[in-house]
């Protein structure tokens, strides 16, 4: 009988540790998603300013890029003069 309280205490501690770990992972994922969305928004604003309005299919492709690809696009767009340049860059990413 004396082992039951110890077992129960260990079980409760394990549950709490699991909750804390889950919260931490959730916060990390949230921060990652926030960074991703922030970069997407900035890239889209810069592209709109640089080459004009972008159609929905291109926006969808941009939103599918990784953070590293978004950073690369942020640098590349400085050399874009029209939508064709963006399309060419996006096509090269899927090769």
- How does pLDDT run across 35-64, given as a tens digit for each residue? 889 999 999 999 999 999 999 999 999 999
- Average per-residue pLDDT in the chain? 88
Q: What is the pLDDT of residue 2?
A: 61
Judged against a pLDDT cut of 90, whether residue 85 lies above it is answered with yes
Confidence of residue 95 (pLDDT cuts 50, 70, 90): low
Split into its structural domains, the chain has a count of 1
Buried b / exposed e along 51-79 (16+ C-beta atoms within 10 A): beebeeebeebbeebeeebbeebeebbee
Mean pLDDT of 17-30: 80
Contacting residues for 35 by C-beta, under 8 A, at least 6 apart: 67
φ, ψ dihedrals at 91, nearest 5°: -65, -35
Cα dihedral value 30, 38, 90, 58, nearest 10: 100
pTM above 0.85, yes or no: no
CB atoms under 10 Å from CB of 47, counted, come to 21
Range of the domain at 80: 3-93
């Amino acid at each position: 009988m004396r082992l039951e309280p110890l077992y129960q205490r260990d079980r409760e501690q394990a549950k709490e540790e699991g909750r804390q770990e889950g919260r931490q992972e959730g916060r990390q994922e949230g921060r990652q998603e926030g960074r991703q969305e922030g970069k997407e928004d900035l890239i889209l604003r810069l592209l709109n300013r640089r080459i004009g309005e972008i159609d929905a299919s291109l926006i969808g492709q941009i939103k599918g890029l990784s953070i590293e690809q978004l950073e690369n696009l942020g640098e590349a767009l400085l050399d874009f003069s029209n939508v064709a340049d963006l399309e060419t860059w996006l096509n090269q990413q899927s090769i």
